Amino acid sequence: MNEVILVTGAAQRLGAQIAQTLHAAGYCVVVHYHHSQAAAQALVAGLNRPRANTALALRADLSDALAIAPLVAAAAAHWGRLDGLVNNAAVFRPTSVAHASAADWADIFDTNLRAPFLLCQAALPWLGKAAGAIVNVTDIYAERPKAGFPIYSAAKAGLAGLTRALAQELAPTVRVNAVAPGAILWPEAGGLEEQDRLLARTPLGRRGEPHDIAEAVLYLLRASYVTGQTIAVDGGRSVTG
């Protein structure tokens, strides 16, 4: 039986590329989604076409703490195992200090930080049995916060810290690492001037592609002597001033 990986927020964009890359590498994938049912079902249908019963779509609202354990249980029950967890789902939106609300804080932290912790907790019995791995998708803004996004930046910084803490606590059985994307997919509302400014500070001089992140995730799932690390996939931007 192939190893099974649960990828959260996997119906579209970066998460979909992660699911496709892992599936192409031979894994069975559980495609988690919240609102994007049609996209998730289409993705899973496409993955199952060449290899039947190797992809599964499951819905859950990760901001609901009570929905997380059932999601993991369903993911593990389908093939009777769970070997890896990729915490990709995230909420990304501006929240200026002057206008942010307690609801903004709860929404962003619940999905970006609390949910990954609860998912790791729920998956631990399965991952321990499989000597599995966790990969968290953080952000280079965890280290260099983005102006106007203090809540998002703080949540991702928390996820980076959680990665290191769990790597210590779950060793030697379960490995925990992270990938920190830089400029990969522009926000739909992003302006061209801001994009140009970001690329000007990127040593490689171009935007990355979703497959760059997916390949880093695949590496960390397989890297048996790597834990507690964050790989910045950002074209070198994190090393510039």
Backbone angles phi, psi at 140, to 5 degrees: -65, -15
d(CA 79, CA 194): 45
The answer for residues whose C-beta is within 8 angstroms of residue 150's C-beta and 6 or more apart is 95, 96, 97, 100
**Identity (one letter) of the amino acid at 203?**
P
- In the numeric block, the tokens 């379960």 are attached to 174
The values of phi and psi at residue 60, to 5°, are -165, 145
Give the Å distances, CA to CA, from 178 to 64, 94, 132, 219. Answer: 23, 23, 14, 11
Q: Is the sign of the CA dihedral 61, 63, 66, 72 positive or negative?
A: positive
Look up 152 and say whether it is catalytic.
yes
Residue of 27, 33, 141, 152 marked catalytic: 152
Q: Are 47 and 21 in contact (CB under 8 A)?
A: no
The contacts of residue 97 (CB under 8 Å, 6+ apart) are: 150
Catalytic residues: 152
